[in-house]
Chain A
Amino acid sequence: MPLPYYVSPEQMMQDKAEYAKKGIAKGRSIIAIEYVDGILLVAENPSASLYKISEIYDSIAFAGAGKYSEFENLRKAGIRHADLKGFMYSREDVTARSLANGYSQSVGTIFSQEQKPLEVEILVVQVGHNGHANEMYRISFDGSIIDERTFAVIGGKSEVIQALLKEKGLTKPSDLRTTLSLCIASLEQVRSQKLSPESLEVATLDRTREGRRFRRLSTADTTSLLAL
Chain B
Amino acid sequence: MKLPFLPNHDDSSFFNFLTQHHPALTPTGLNGFVQAQGAGEPVRGAGSMSVPHATTVLAIKYQQGVVIAGDRRATEGFQIAERRIEKVFKIDDYSAMAIAGAAGPCIEMAKLFQVELEHYEKLEGVQLSCEGKANKLGQMVKANLPMVFQGLVVMPLYVGYDVKRTEGRIFKYDLSGGRYEESDYHAIGSGGKDARNTMREHFLKGLAEPEALKLALLALYNAADDDIGTGGPDLVRGIYPTAKIVDGRGITDVSELQIRSIYDGLLATRRSKES
Contacts and interface: CB of A to CB of B under 8 A. Distances in A.
A157 interface: no
Interface in A98-134: 102, 105-106, 109-110
Interface stretch (B2-10, B98-106, B178-186): B2-10
A86 interface: yes
A74 B9 CA distance: 12
B1 interface: yes
Interface residues of B, number: 20
Given A51-B125, A87-B112, A88-B25, A79 B3 contact: no
Given A54-B122, A56-B122, A83-B14, A102 B1 contact: no
Interface in A75-107: 76-77, 79-81, 83-84, 86-88, 102, 105-106
Contact of B1 (A84, A110, A212): A110
A55 B122 contact: yes
A83 B115 contact: yes
Most buried by A among B1, B3, B18, B112: B3
Given A73-B1, A109-B4, A84 B22 contact: yes
Interface string B95-133: 000000000000000011001001100110100000000
How many A residues touch the partner, as a band? 20 to 34
Contacts of B112: 87
A79 B1 contact: no
A62 B10 CA distance: 19
B190 to A, nearest CB: 30
Interface string A30-58: 00000000000000000001010011100
A6 to B, nearest CB: 29
A83 B119 contact: yes
A159 B236 CA distance: 67
A7 B25 CA distance: 47
A80 B18 CA distance: 10
B123 A76 contact: yes
Nearest to A83: B119
B111 A80 contact: no
Given A77-B6, A80-B9, A81-B6, A86 B115 contact: yes
Contacts of A86: 115
Contacts of B118: 83, 212
Given A86-B115, A102-B5, A106-B5, A79 B122 contact: yes
Given A80-B17, A83-B14, A70 B122 contact: no
Interface of A: 49, 51, 54-56, 70, 73-74, 76-77, 79-81, 83-84, 86-88, 102, 105-106, 109-110, 212
- Pairs A-B, 5 closest by C-beta atoms: A102-B5, A106-B3, A77-B6, A77-B3, A83-B119
